[in-house]
Chains A and B, each alone.
Chain A
């Protein structure tokens, strides 16, 4: 099984030096695009590879790039979204800490395709080890002539800067991230204009996820057909999947796109902890709909997870077991979303704290019959089309699916005026 993105990660996770990275074929893709290709043909190749954005939305990467006007005057910007903060998501951390040169190489390829001359890595503040690794890798790449002016004599210039974030979930949203890079509050921008035309400082800008960038050198080196055959489904490539929660071996693994949830949990994560049963999972971070037992054989790609009523999102499963309260689980999620709402649009700012309060009272045994209707109401009015960005609709995904699949738990809390899970948790912490 091929694992292009993680094959060179050492057991101790120490990043490869430039020399070590070159010895395993590193920066070959940069040589190839700069010496043998033109920007348009790079974009065409990436389009043909069917690479879809790994940040969660799954938009076609080549398609995204193709909206950048190539003849626009400089500067043009490229941004690596490394602000990993979706609860339950820990996949980009691995790539950032252990394969920084792969990220930089991918960024050079992308920058060439859109003819960007300035790039930023927007890094989550908490990722200190990653910050050191990237700083060092940028320095090494600069001294070797992969960054700077006239890279490898091609006439193409690119500088990459590390920008460390200051902590806000909203910064993961593409346009909010750009506002943050401009030193402003990270509130989302109206689209259009799209960032490809008017992004950072009003210039054409592309924002891609870390894992997306890391796919690029391999697509350039091995071609689109190779990339497609890595997958088991129509959505190309490998994917870094993860599992957290009460399984025997939580972790993250690079696997062919389209492995099933059952394989992830049973084979890779070692199954549920003893005495616990699987009840459901968020397939791709906090802002995705629950999948339950009937979905265990769903292929974890963009298309099939969507057909099952959820989203692949970041591909990192969060497991709900049968000794953990679904109401408390969702309350925890909605607390996060309510806290992290940027406050810019009213439904999100007012609605999410309301949802959190209702869930807190149900969890505490103080719920009323009409609360379930109120929660349903919010899933509609904070849903797609009613808010400025995707934060509140994302927050409603686990709630609406919990109300569907775990309705009897909500009802029992209200009827019994208590949570029957209290004290039942098999806690990992003693």
Chain B
């Protein structure tokens, strides 16, 4: 069941486009904002509301990197693995994170606090290496900053 707040936000997205279906991705994002990820049940509810088949909506949901069709932790760490960050040594950051958190890419810590994902170029290549946690961007990263940064996200 979609909540009233979710429906309200989805309606707003629908009002901006001439075809209801065109707001399908926006609707998924609304639900993800409220529930952190899009479960099969959520997907079916959104599809019904958008007057689409669940299959059609899922074909879209699974296409985009930022729609999570599997559960994620309270905070999602998106580590840039593209070329400028590679040149500047992001792999050391990755190794430190996987060791500290005890998880590989795509996994969530046992306490449900962090999910670690690789991410394409974050467009801040002059300040590589970079990562995002939720909506926050961190640049010019060094390993000794990482623990402090992680602490901010409970």
A residues with CB within 8 A of B: 75, 84-90, 92-93, 124-129, 161, 164, 166-169, 180-186, 201, 242-246, 250-252, 282, 286, 316, 318-321, 324, 328-329, 332-333, 335-336, 339-340, 342, 425, 427-430
Q: Are B89 and A425 in contact (CB under 8 A)?
A: yes
Give me the 9 closest cross-chain CB pairs, A-B, nearest first: A167-B65, A244-B125, A250-B126, A166-B64, A167-B66, A429-B89, A87-B82, A183-B22, A427-B89
Q: Are B124 and A318 in contact (CB under 8 A)?
A: no
* Distance between B100 CB and nearest chain A CB, rounded to angstroms: 15
* Distance between B112 CB and nearest chain A CB, rounded to angstroms: 23
Name the CB-closest residue of B to A251.
B126
B residues with CB within 8 A of A: 16-19, 21-26, 29, 59-60, 63-67, 78, 81-84, 86-90, 92-93, 119-129, 132, 135, 137, 141-144
Contacts A85-B120, A168-B63, A183-B24 supplied; 7 other A-B pairs, CB < 8 Å? A86-B121, A88-B82, A127-B123, A181-B22, A182-B19, A244-B125, A245-B88
Contact partners of B16 in chain A: CB under 8 A: 161
Q: Are B121 and A87 in contact (CB under 8 A)?
A: yes
Contact partners of B24 in chain A: CB under 8 A: 183
Q: Are B63 and A429 in contact (CB under 8 A)?
A: no
Contact with A184, one of B60, B89, B92 (Cβ below 8 angstroms): B60
Q: Are A429 and B64 in contact (CB under 8 A)?
A: no
* Distance between B139 CB and nearest chain A CB, rounded to angstroms: 10
Q: Are A318 and B21 in contact (CB under 8 A)?
A: no
Contact partners of A124 in chain B: CB under 8 A: 123
Given the known interface contacts A126-B132, A286-B83, A319-B87, the answer about A201 and B19 at a Cβ–Cβ threshold of 8 Å is: yes
Q: Are B22 and A182 in contact (CB under 8 A)?
A: yes
10 residue pairs bridging A and B, Cβ less than 8 Å apart:
A84-B123, A87-B82, A88-B82, A124-B123, A161-B16, A164-B29, A182-B21, A185-B59, A250-B128, A329-B86
> Given the complex of chains A and B, what is the CA–CA distance between A340 and B64 in angstroms?
10
> Given the complex of chains A and B, what is the CA–CA distance between A328 and B17 in angstroms?
44
Most chain-A Cβ atoms within 10 A of its Cβ — which of B90, B121, B137?
A: B121
> Given the complex of chains A and B, what is the CA–CA distance between A340 and B78 in angstroms?
16
> Given the complex of chains A and B, what is the CA–CA distance between A336 and B122 in angstroms?
13
Q: Are B127 and A250 in contact (CB under 8 A)?
A: yes
Q: Are B84 and A87 in contact (CB under 8 A)?
A: yes
Most chain-A Cβ atoms within 10 A of its Cβ — which of B81, B84, B120?
A: B84
* Distance between A81 CB and nearest chain B CB, rounded to angstroms: 13
Contact partners of A125 in chain B: CB under 8 A: 66
Contact partners of A286 in chain B: CB under 8 A: 82-83, 121
* Distance between B11 CB and nearest chain A CB, rounded to angstroms: 15
Contact partners of A180 in chain B: CB under 8 A: 25
Q: Are B126 and A183 in contact (CB under 8 A)?
A: no
* Distance between B70 CB and nearest chain A CB, rounded to angstroms: 15
Q: Are A88 and B125 in contact (CB under 8 A)?
A: yes
* Distance between B65 CB and nearest chain A CB, rounded to angstroms: 4
> Given the complex of chains A and B, what is the CA–CA distance between A342 and B64 in angstroms?
10
> Given the complex of chains A and B, what is the CA–CA distance between A180 and B146 in angstroms?
35
Q: Are B137 and A128 in contact (CB under 8 A)?
A: yes
> Given the complex of chains A and B, what is the CA–CA distance between A101 and B60 in angstroms?
33
Contact with B87, one of A167, A169, A318 (Cβ below 8 angstroms): A318
Contact with B66, one of A166, A186, A244 (Cβ below 8 angstroms): A166
Q: Are A430 and B142 in contact (CB under 8 A)?
A: yes
Name the CB-closest residue of A to B59.
A185
Name the CB-closest residue of B to A333.
B83
Q: Are A324 and B126 in contact (CB under 8 A)?
A: no
> Given the complex of chains A and B, what is the CA–CA distance between A329 and B25 in angstroms?
34
Q: Are A166 and B123 in contact (CB under 8 A)?
A: no
Given the known interface contacts A89-B121, A128-B135, A182-B22, the answer about A429 and B93 at a Cβ–Cβ threshold of 8 Å is: yes
> Given the complex of chains A and B, what is the CA–CA distance between A427 and B90 in angstroms?
9
Contact partners of A428 in chain B: CB under 8 A: 88-89, 128-129
Contact with B123, one of A89, A164, A184, A425 (Cβ below 8 angstroms): A89
* Distance between A90 CB and nearest chain B CB, rounded to angstroms: 5
Q: Are B83 and A318 in contact (CB under 8 A)?
A: yes
Contact partners of A183 in chain B: CB under 8 A: 17, 19, 21-26, 60
> Given the complex of chains A and B, what is the CA–CA distance between A342 and B65 in angstroms?
11
Given the known interface contacts A128-B137, A430-B143, the answer about A332 and B66 at a Cβ–Cβ threshold of 8 Å is: no
Name the CB-closest residue of B to A330.
B83
Q: Are B83 and A336 in contact (CB under 8 A)?
A: yes
Given the known interface contacts A183-B23, A428-B89, the answer about A93 and B64 at a Cβ–Cβ threshold of 8 Å is: no
Contact partners of A167 in chain B: CB under 8 A: 64-66, 120
* Distance between A387 CB and nearest chain B CB, rounded to angstroms: 18
Name the CB-closest residue of B to A171.
B64
Contact partners of B88 in chain A: CB under 8 A: 244-246, 427-429
Given the known interface contacts A166-B25, A286-B83, the answer about A85 and B121 at a Cβ–Cβ threshold of 8 Å is: yes
Name the CB-closest residue of B to A316.
B125
Q: Are A85 and B123 in contact (CB under 8 A)?
A: yes
Most chain-A Cβ atoms within 10 A of its Cβ — which of B65, B93, B127?
A: B65
> Given the complex of chains A and B, what is the CA–CA distance between A84 and B121 in angstroms?
9
Contact with B83, one of A87, A164, A243, A429 (Cβ below 8 angstroms): A87
Name the CB-closest residue of B to A282.
B83
